[in-house]
Amino acid sequence: MQEQRVNQKSKSGLEGVFAAALTPMDEKLDPDHGAFVSHCRRLLDSGCHGLSIFGTTGEGNSLSFGEKVSAMEALVEGDIPGEKLLPGTGSCSLTDAVRLSRAALEIGAAGVLVLPPFYYKNADDDGLFRFFAELIDRVDDERLKIYLYHIPWMAGVGFSLPLVGRLIEAYPEIVVGTKDSSGDWERTERTCREFPGFTVFAGSERFLLDTLRAGGAGCISAMVNVNAPLARRVYEAYEAGEDAEAEALQEDLNEMRTATEGFPAIPALKALMCETTKEEGWNHIRPPLRSLEEDQQQKLLSRLDLSKIS
């Protein structure tokens, strides 16, 4: 197991605790660059090894190409190191996925997290393979490191393990990892086992310790927006070989996640950010998502022990 982890480190270099960073928005529902820089800085300072931006939690699909490029540039101008960033660059449109991936390379991103072209529910593995082959050929940049973003319950399209294997075999230096947000631990564990050297992030911090133990790289998670220090302590305890401590901390992480279940994830996290930062702007969210109603917000807060976060 330890050996696999060494392989991973040598392969893509990414590992640890990543927040699927929220995107703060202003009153007009445009990305609030200042608040975004502050949030990313806070996340890195409070324990995140890196940040995935423009994923599902970051409302990436609610933003236009130009909005994503401007926000990435604002982060780098705000001294968020590009190599800490893993931007979501997937699109149903091949040409958009290409130019967004290029833009991510321009800001020095560590890699790109790529959804399958999710409108096409009837796409088969051959068609999806061809999409990624075209993407790689067209980006045509040896710095490109792709992480396959598997979230079938949201995207409606996912990556079968045979497809993952085909992509790794065809592009071993480029298709280097995945975020598995299936919520299906058996699949995540199998991905770690079947593809040694492939960088596997669980899509939930609930599987952080299990993923590390299975030879995976860590987690990229929405909840890490609010509990990065705790997630980092799980990681550090695991690294130090403090098994009991790691398990106890993982229990705390799980408890917090359980408390938020039943609430829509992104509005709930934005509500928690409102509470912890006292910045009202955090409740801005693009439709079709909606911020929590006042009573839902109170119910959520009453369930959580925010003192455990840090």
Site for a second copy in 273-292 (CB under 8 A): 286-290
Q: Nearer Cβ to a second copy, position 203 or 215?
A: 203
Residue 160 touching a second copy (CB under 8 A):
no
Residue 95 touching a second copy (CB under 8 A):
yes
Residue 261 touching a second copy (CB under 8 A):
no
- Residue 206's nearest CA partner among 274, 245, 148, 252 is 252
Helix-strand-coil split of the chain, %, nearest 5:
55, 10, 35
Site for a second copy in 182-241 (CB under 8 A): none
Residue 50 phi, psi (nearest 5)? -170, 180
Q: Nearer Cβ to a second copy, position 95 or 310?
A: 95
Residue with the two structure tokens 């994830």: 265
- Residue 175's nearest CA partner among 2, 17, 11, 6 is 11
Q: Nearer Cβ to a second copy, position 85 or 135?
A: 135
Of 74-82, 125-133, 229-237, 245-253, which part binds a second copy (CB under 8 A)? 125-133
Residue 93 touching a second copy (CB under 8 A):
yes
Burial 173-197 (b: 16+ CB within 10 A, else e): ebbbbbbbbbeebebbbebbeebeb
Least separation, in Å, of the C-beta of 46 and a second copy?
Answer: 28
* Other CB atoms within 10 Å distance of the CB of residue 3: 9
Applying CB under 8 A, among 13, 165, 183, 264 the residue interacting with a second copy is 264
Q: Nearer Cβ to a second copy, position 61 or 283?
A: 61
* Other CB atoms within 10 Å distance of the CB of residue 108: 14
Quick check: helix, strand or coil at residue 118?
coil
Least separation, in Å, of the C-beta of 116 and a second copy?
Answer: 7
Cis peptide before 81 (omega within 30 of 0): no
> Among 11, 145, 179, 270, which one carries the catalytic annotation?
179
Least separation, in Å, of the C-beta of 60 and a second copy?
Answer: 9
Residue 156 touching a second copy (CB under 8 A):
yes
> Among 68, 147, 149, 238, which one carries the catalytic annotation?
149
| Catalytic residue status for 171 | no
| Catalytic residue status for 56 | yes
- Contacts of 64-73 with CB under 8 Å at 24 or more apart are 65/96, 65/99, 65/100, 67/30, 67/31, 68/100, 68/103, 69/100, 69/103, 70/31, 70/33, 71/23, 71/31, 71/33, 71/36, 72/103, 72/104, 72/107, 72/109, 73/107
| Catalytic residue status for 179 | yes
Residue 136 touching a second copy (CB under 8 A):
no
Q: Nearer Cβ to a second copy, position 121 or 278?
A: 121
Binding site for a second copy (CB under 8 A): 29, 56, 61-65, 67, 92-96, 99, 116-124, 126-128, 130-131, 133-134, 153-156, 264, 286-290
Catalytic residues: 56, 119, 149, 179
